[in-house]
Amino acid sequence: MKLFLDANVVFSAAHRDTGNAQALVALARVGGCTLQSSAHAIEEARRNLALKSSGYDGRLAAALAQIAVVAEAHPALVEWARSEGLPLKDAPILAAAVQAGAAALVTGDARDFGPFYGRTLRGVQVLAPARALALVLKDAGV
């Protein structure tokens, strides 16, 4: 299963030793899922880590080793995502997940993506990290 990670999930994987984001990275390491993100999301995660965290370099490198960086979305897809009600800062995330053919967009941003949780938009289901982890574990028969 291909999962596209929003910046806050990449942040969480690098910020802490444990949690749903770390579990998704661990599952990707053993082939339980495929992780994707965009340079846009990864750069946002890096900026926030520099402001709000310390000692994250090793965890970030380990997470990024499991994340395929996909192309930024075509502007028409970004416009479509905006038309769905996402703010300009988040529309490129959903658009990149759609363009990359992800099964799910994993985001902890309940403020902007919360209304989309559980919905499927152009083939991409929007999930909170805990729900994504449960889905991957179910898919793996665990």
Element (H, E) at 70: strand 67-70
pLDDT values of the chain reduced to their tens digit, one per residue, 142 residues: 999 999 999 999 999 999 999 999 999 999 999 999 999 999 999 999 999 999 999 999 999 999 999 999 999 999 999 999 999 999 999 999 999 999 999 999 999 999 999 999 999 999 999 999 999 999 877 6
Q: Is 0.85 topped by the overall pTM?
A: yes
Contact at 8 Å (CB) between 113 and 92? no
Instruction: Give the CATH number, domain containing residue 82.
Output: 3.40.50.1010
Per DSSP, the three-state class of 120 is strand
CA-based radius of gyration for the chain = 14
Domain boundaries, position 32: 2-139
Query: Into how many domains does the chain fold?
Result: 1
Per DSSP, the three-state class of 34 is strand
Residues 93, 6: Cα–Cα separation, whole Å: 7
